Chains A and B, each alone.
Chain A
Amino acid sequence: MAIITRRTFMQAAGAAATLPVLGNKAFAAEKIKIGFIFLGPVGDYGWTWAHNKGREQVEKELGDKVETVYVENVQEDASAIPVIRDLAQQGCKLIFTTSYGYMDQTVAVAKEFPNVKFEHCTGFKRADNVATYNSKFHEGRAVLGTIAGKMSKTGTLGYLGSYKVPEVVLGVNSFALAAQKQNPNAKVKLVLIDSWFDPPKEAAATETLINLGCDIVTTHTDSPGPLQILEQKKLYGFGQGADMSRFAPSAHLTAIEDIWGPYYVERVKMILDGSWKSSDTWDGMKEGTVVISPYNKVIPDDVKKMADDIQKGYKDGSYDIFKGPIYDQAGTLKVKEGETMKLADLAVIDWFVKGVESAA
């Protein structure tokens, strides 16, 4: 374990020179280096935090054979190129770039290092040594939508999102469709705040949604701020990316957890045994990438059962929220009865389903 954890770092800061040197263990055997590029700080308790958990799992399971290195707070501009290149030059055999905004930079560096393998998260540009991977977060949204549709008294649900990107659009649609299965009149009010992380704005947007009649708000931004607001107002919401129940024990109904560890471990193992190939992976509940946190005890048993059934359905392939008929906001039929949206169409979706109220 070469990375200093937060805790040891602070202990070291406190105890100054009395502690033995941390983070500088000499490596007896030559370990294979695995690199990670992170968008936020590992302590964001959201997106980057979840990816770092995955990195920690690689350390835990394969720590005798590999060493992991990460860089946090890497901007999604041209300056990401040297950071990615650095990891390649330092001998990393596999590098995970964990945000969409590193797509072109990853491809550019990969051209320079044909012998290093790259994995870009949520992008679509691949090469012989660049694989892409993503997670079907929207499967989790269907579970949340079901719970929200059942538990909302007003039938007006809030959705706090970041930007209009396919991942968020899918989340909104999945949530709205699932809620409407329980309550055909359910409406979803959508606010996109132009940021993945802005706690004060997330909080104010949550209050706004509540004030406009939403009694359940789900978040597709990264901070636990909205849940804290819901806790104060004695309303309900869901965690994003991780189990956030500690921030809002009563308001937190459940959460979608991003579990990257199994995929990371699998891919690192492929590097170790030489079987790594470029691929496009879009895992979901079935593969354990999307996990639903333990339910809050206020969720009635019948609702819990419905939520469990959807999870089961996704795991055995019998359930899909994007089955027709599906109408868009204007009421145009987009998916006919009996048809199911294909993954390729889901990946580029840019329209909201009927019942979603949003600004242009």
Chain B
Amino acid sequence: MNLAEQFLLTPEGLKIGDIEQTLASIMLPGMDYADCYFQHASFEGWALEDNKVKSGSYQIDQGVGIRAISGEKTGFAYSDEISHSALKDAALSARNIANAGQNGSQAIRLNSRAYPALYSDVVPISSLADADKVALLQKLNRHARGLDPRVQEVSVSLAGGREVILIAASDGTFCADVRPLIRLNVSVIVEENGRRESGSMGGGGRLAYSYFFEQNRAEQYAEEAVRQALVNLEAQAAPAGEMTVVLGSGWPGILLHEAIGHGLEGDFNRKGTSAFSGRIGDTVAAAECTVVDDGTLVDRRGSLTIDDEGTPTENTVLIENGVLKNYMQDKLNARLMNMQATGNGRRESYAHLPMPRMTNTYMLPGKHDPQEIIASVEDGVYAANFGGGQVDITSGKFVFSASEAYRIKNGKLSHPIKGATLIGNGPDVLTRVSMVGNDMQLDSGVGMCGKEGQSVPVGVGQPTLRIDGLTVGGEG
């Protein structure tokens, strides 16, 4: 809290009383809720391509967003200046949403609260000298190129930074968070007999850059990128049509994010626009499936000590033994649905409105050995790695695209197949899960989720899964 106040309020001479007054000026009769979100973010990026670290960038962004809620109505304004006058202007603008009475504003008393931090307050940018960042990128370039003569091009990117946020709300919420975030990515292009393929791997979390130097992580990203690209050199056309699909552990958990996660966000369910609306208590998955959204994992990319409304994050059970248990909620939707906020109120920045978003979404392990799962399939596809995905929450249709996949024949992995999009129906895909592996794994920390134009970092995870019937979009 001290750090946040020192960063966000002190330079402009703002005191807690000023914020209380701002909130009080909004909370006229008829208003239900108001909050101020102060943020200071500084991020850097370094990129190597064509054997050189040719560019780097640094950005600083700070400001305050003010929100006023009356019933289902929200007024929102923000400023990239944190000052008395900016607060006043934004508050006036935000409260215009409702024709509130001019008299009888209530006094606001902020109660400062601290929660045990899930990550350190390290400053990633200064956790490593710039020359050492450049040297790391160069080392990975050499390492990747040295792995195989077919490696033609290597791109490496390093990004990191820190956000300091302070949240004050009319319900007395007053808390701060310091959020570091780092990410390292290696992409390669390999070429053989005129055929070119690519592979990429990365990782990160709410950590200092030293993370990449531990356990040879950075080198492993390079090795994994090269391995994937070389596998794809051998890939044959993927099949087309509905078939048995085995999904690998870890990042393939993007299945849960798309097929289940978005459809369980509170806003869509309050409005009745989700294919999961009104289905709490229904069986939506095989009995072996338990899926959670857990913002409380230490140092993970999708984790938050508090969400962007000051609610501490939770480990929320979404599906328990196949039965739909909970939605993910922010304060607005929880209040309107008469439910509890689950610590899922997130926003891209002070210039964006919060809404229900995922944190780390994953499925708990089952009992099957992954080898046993593959051995059980006579004819199907094993998808080990994925790119991005997308969902239509109303029809429930979702897609995700494999970047490394194999044909399974008679219980054995056969040749690699080209990346293909898989499409399914969210409300019934998990009912087709026939085996859940015992190898639950979280992704390596590169996920980014987009909703209504806002991007936030997220995590996913799952054990190896067998799904009896998913449509594979190959060329035949």
- A is bound by B: no
